[in-house]
């Protein structure tokens, strides 16, 4: 009998069936093994479109589709986890339509650890490298893991700076793990495998198609507590990753740059929108003082704060509804307390209206 993970893997291999459909199936069907007996009418009764129902019936009947992928996994010593696994990244699972399957090579990363995404332009220059070399060692020293997309430019600078600092880095690729992209970074990917992890949400033989990268960027933003933009033009994939991070309620940081340089436009845009300006690692670390600060005095002061029962839920930006559900504080009382904390300078609302500690 197939495990739940194997069934989810099988679903993810069916062309035309995406994460939205798979997550709906995973949430609605208690016995996943039963879907191998489903007919088109069974799928449409669950709310699946008839065209997708046909694809599901045909795809699940194709046993070789799954067997070939399992053979490749074994042959190339590649692992995978699924939504059914306990070690699936909790932060990513909270995002909209999380990927059903994550393929990985190297050393499994504990996604309960502190993780910072660092992104930027593929044509980032020496300035971005200098910034990565300044900021990353501070983060690694405090136990942070660095995730990026394995691309040329800023991504590579972030991975390399982490490796030099003997830190753990994760590269999320926009292709299958049998087609490392870009090929120019092959030696870097080998080093990352030894000291960190390569990840992909795409079947093993997937080519690096342009349409893959938005989904890849969502994963980078989704698995990290915060996202740092090094360099990016006004329209870039890196800027989109940062916007996904905002959408997920993550902390967003940006390094400013020369005003005449088009590679500064993306960072400056984010800073205008409320991203934290970063000139050193401490600018990021202080955002997480009450969560990860090793200063006993800071922790003591927080514990003695009469509003600690509310502030502890504002480690990451949260909506009023989210706070109401997690704190169980009556809504009117919650609104009044947030207003008083706002006046006291302890909390603020970010550019998309989420509450966070000031």
pLDDT at position 289 is 63
Q: Write the DSSP string, 297-342.
A: HHHHHHHH-TTHHHHGGGSS-B-HHHHHHHH---HHHHHHHHHHHH
User: Nearest CA to 115 among 348, 288, 255, 273?
Assistant: 288
CA–CA distance from 326 to each of 155, 159, 214, 310, 352 (Å)?
A: 35, 36, 31, 10, 20
Contact 242, 226 (CB under 8 A): no
Q: Bridge partners of 115?
A: 145
Parallel, antiparallel or unpaired: strands 197-200 and 169-172 = parallel
How many alpha carbons lie under 13 Å from residue 146 in its C-beta half-sphere?
36
Contact 84, 93 (CB under 8 A): no
Could you count the other beta carbons within 10 Å of the beta carbon of residue 74? 9
Contacts of 315 (CB under 8 A, 6+ apart): 288, 290, 291, 357
Which two tokens mark 122? 């593929």
Longest Cα pair distance anywhere in the chain, in angstroms?
63
**What are the structural domains, with CATH classification, of the chain?**
4-102 (no CATH), 115-287 (3.40.50.450), 295-357 (1.10.10)
Contact 252, 242 (CB under 8 A): yes
Contact 154, 267 (CB under 8 A): no
Round to whole Å and give the CA distance between 343 and 326: 23
Averaged pLDDT in 10-residue chunks for the chain of 358 residues: 94 96 94 96 94 96 97 97 94 92 92 91 92 95 95 96 96 97 96 96 96 94 95 86 90 91 90 90 80 39 60 76 80 82 82 76
Q: Kind and range of the H or E element at 161?
A: helix 154-164
Contact 154, 147 (CB under 8 A): no
Q: Bridge partners of 102?
A: 81
Contact 231, 124 (CB under 8 A): yes
pLDDT at position 146 is 97
pLDDT at position 298 is 37
* The model's pTM: 0.79
């Amino acid at each position: 009998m197939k495990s739940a993970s194997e069934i989810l893997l099988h679903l993810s291999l069916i062309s035309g069936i995406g994460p939205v459909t798979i997550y709906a199936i995973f949430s609605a069907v208690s016995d996943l093994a039963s879907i191998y007996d489903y007919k088109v009418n069974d799928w449409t009764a669950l709310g699946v479109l008839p065209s997708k129902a046909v694809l599901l019936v045909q795809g699940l009947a194709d046993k070789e589709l799954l067997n070939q992928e399992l053979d490749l996994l074994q042959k190339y010593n590649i692992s995978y986890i699924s939504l059914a696994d306990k070690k699936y990244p909790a932060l990513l699972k909270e995002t909209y339509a999380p990927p059903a399957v994550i393929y990985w090579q190297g050393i499994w990363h504990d996604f309960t650890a502190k993780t910072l995404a660092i992104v930027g332009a593929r044509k980032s220059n020496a300035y971005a490298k200098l910034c990565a070399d300044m900021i990353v060692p501070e983060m690694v020293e405090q136990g942070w893991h660095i995730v990026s997309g394995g691309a040329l430019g800023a991504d590579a600078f972030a991975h390399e700076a982490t490796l030099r600092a003997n830190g753990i880095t994760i590269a999320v690729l926009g292709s299958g793990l049998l087609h490392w992209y870009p090929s120019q970074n092959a030696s870097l990917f080998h080093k990352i495998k030894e000291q960190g992890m390569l990840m992909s949400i795409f079947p093993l033989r997937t080519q690096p198609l342009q349409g893959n990268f938005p989904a890849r960027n969502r994963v980078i933003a989704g698995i990290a507590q915060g996202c740092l933009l090094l360099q990016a033009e006004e329209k870039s994939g890196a800027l989109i990753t940062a916007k996904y991070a905002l959408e997920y309620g993550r902390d967003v940081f940006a390094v400013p740059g020369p005003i005449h340089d088009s590679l500064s436009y993306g960072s400056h845009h984010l800073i205008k929108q409320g991203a934290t300006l970063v000139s050193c690692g401490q600018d990021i670390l202080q955002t997480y003082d009450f969560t990860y600060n090793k200063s006993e005095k800071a922790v003591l002061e927080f514990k003695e704060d009469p509003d600690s029962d509310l502030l502890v839920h504002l480690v990451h930006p949260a909506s009023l509804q989210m706070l109401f559900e997690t704190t169980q504080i009556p809504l009117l009382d919650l609104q009044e307390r947030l207003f008083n904390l706002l006046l006291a300078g302890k909390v603020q609302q970010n550019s998309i209206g989420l509450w966070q500690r000031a």
